[in-house]
């Protein structure tokens, strides 16, 4: 959809070429450039969420995470999947993967929950604490 061409073996991530203009939300973080990872991480439009996954790779079963995302773990509203504001994570996903979610993913999720009059989700972060 974005016309992004990727290089490198799929098992090590997309390694998006810097020759293409991509949305800020999808630009690889320093951790993405340094830590070998699967392509799922590169598709998430939340840089901190991607880094949270990378800093907890020893805890995360990537196949299980992928299955949870694909089976009603999230909804992408609208036609701009690269826009973080279009994403909503489910209650079940948030309860199971709470340690991966960041402020931006929660803000987006809570916006969509508020549209339906639902309570906001709140989780604690274990990565990037200062």
pLDDT digits (tens, 9 = 90+) for 94-114: 999 999 999 999 999 999 999
Query: For the chain, what is the domain count?
Result: 1
* Domain extent for 107: 40-115
What would the mean pLDDT of 5-10 be, rounded to a whole number? 52
User: Does 60 reside within a domain?
Assistant: yes
> Do the domain assignments include residue 63?
yes
* 19 within domain boundaries: no
Residue 6, domain member (yes or no) = no
Residue 75 covered by a domain = yes
Q: Kindly state whether residue 105 falls inside one of the protein's structural domains.
A: yes
How far, in Å, CA of 89 to CA of 10, rounded?
A: 25
Q: What angle do CA 96, 101, 104 make, to 5 degrees?
A: 150
pLDDT at position 1 over 60: no
Answer yes or no: is 70 within a domain.
yes
């Amino acid at each position: 959809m974005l016309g992004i061409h990727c290089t490198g073996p799929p098992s090590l991530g997309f390694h998006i070429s810097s020759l293409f203009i991509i949305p800020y939300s999808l630009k690889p973080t320093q951790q993405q450039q340094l830590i070998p990872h699967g392509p799922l991480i590169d598709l998430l439009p939340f840089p901190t969420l991607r880094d949270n996954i990378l800093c907890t790779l020893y805890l995360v079963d990537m196949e299980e995470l992928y299955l949870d995302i694909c089976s009603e773990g999230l909804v992408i509203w609208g036609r701009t999947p690269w826009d973080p504001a279009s994403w909503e994570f489910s209650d079940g996903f948030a309860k199971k993967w709470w340690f991966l979610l960041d402020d931006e993913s929660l803000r987006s999720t809570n916006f969509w929950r508020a549209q339906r009059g639902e309570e906001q989700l709140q989780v604690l972060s274990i990565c990037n604490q200062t």
